[in-house]
Amino acid sequence: MQYRVLGKTGFKVSEIGFGSWGIGKGMWKGADDEESLATLKAAVETGINFIDTALVYGDNLNYHSEKLIGQFLKTLPLDKKVYVASKIYPVNREWPALPEIPIEQVFPFSWIYEAVQLSLYNLQVDSIDLMQFHVWQDSFAATDYWKEAIKDLTAQGKVKRWGISINDYQPTNVLKTLQTGLIDTVQFIFNIYHQEPEKELLPFAGKNKVGLIARVPLDEGGLTGKITPETIFGDFRDDFFKNGRKVEVIERAEKLKKVMGNEASSLPELALRWILSHDEISVVIPGMRKVKHALDNAKVSDGRNLSDSLMAELKNHVWERNFYH
């Protein structure tokens, strides 16, 4: 396993992290708690030391993902350090944050404190390594109370570092906020189809030592190469890939398979290697619900980047769209 520094946090994290939305169940089907715990164990044994979760990852706000991770953390040896990042969900339950809605209706002052306390309780820890706001609008940077709240929570030792998980496909909707110097990391969608963050976010982060956490690396399954016209997910992905979208995904996946040559043995490997071939990225967090997922993903971390020629070719496979809406 290769490790990278998570921006100004100084955390030395595995470049492959553990995305835990799926193990929370809720919007995802097919997760089993015993298997999820075994997957977490297998991931850490491969060298993965970064787990990303959120308060909202569960069913009807039962905080299942956080609680399961808290249960797992109790099994680790005292000398084994695993960094855990969680998220404060918007109290109005709106994804993405809308420009016309003020921060007071999204992250009220008291909710920031309450959410941190909930995560501390669920994770069974005294301090959260990284707490992220689960949505954002850059206009929030002009409001001061959230800044005072995070300074206070940091001074209390309840949170070590702060980040923002930005709105889907809005990679520049955080740049003013980053200039406050209070935000250490940004989590954002980044994959072969969505390369827009290369234009402004990655250069800014590289210059200013902002840790970058790449999410949705496999396009919710669109970059696995396993979807067929008959695929039924039984969860939100049936809507994500509704109508003729599966056919489009299959066609584009086949084109990618034809150009990857011997630089990757599978489409998921290609997708992860593409992200890690960007030096500005600190960690990529594919979702993992099975031991095989953890083992396969971890194998990609071997220090080998894709060739310049293949990286150039993959620029021709940009496919900007938003299947969440």
| Per-residue DSSP letter, 261 | T
Report which of 271, 276, 245 is spatially closest to residue 260, judged by C-alpha positions.
271
CA distance 6 to 99: 29
Residue 323 falls within a domain, yes or no?
A: no
Q: What angle do CA 61, 133, 276 make, to 5 degrees?
A: 105
- The per-residue pLDDT for 235 is 85
Per the structure, how many domains does the chain have? Answer: 1
- This prediction has a pTM of 0.97
Residue 109 falls within a domain, yes or no?
A: yes
- Residue 269 and residue 293 in contact, taking contact as beta carbons nearer than 8 Å: no
Residue 245 falls within a domain, yes or no?
A: yes
- Domain limits for position 212: 3-317
Residue 94 falls within a domain, yes or no?
A: yes
CATH number at residue 197: 3.20.20.100
CA distance 179 to 198: 19
Residue 193 falls within a domain, yes or no?
A: yes
Residue 325 falls within a domain, yes or no?
A: no
CA distance 67 to 54: 10
Task: List CB contacts of 130: < 8 A, sequence separation 6 or more.
Answer: 6, 9, 11, 83, 84, 85, 86, 159, 160, 161, 162, 163, 184, 185
Residue 219 falls within a domain, yes or no?
A: yes
- The per-residue pLDDT for 325 is 79
**pLDDT tens, N- to C-terminus, the chain (325 residues):** 999 999 999 999 999 999 999 999 887 787 899 999 999 999 999 999 999 999 999 998 899 999 999 999 999 998 899 999 999 999 999 999 999 999 999 999 999 999 999 999 999 999 999 999 999 999 999 999 999 999 999 999 999 999 999 999 999 999 999 999 999 999 999 999 999 999 999 999 999 999 999 999 999 999 999 998 888 888 888 888 888 898 999 999 999 999 999 999 999 999 999 999 999 999 999 999 999 999 999 999 999 999 999 999 999 999 999 888 7
Give me the amino acid identity at 301. S
Residue 324 falls within a domain, yes or no?
A: no
CA distance 260 to 248: 19
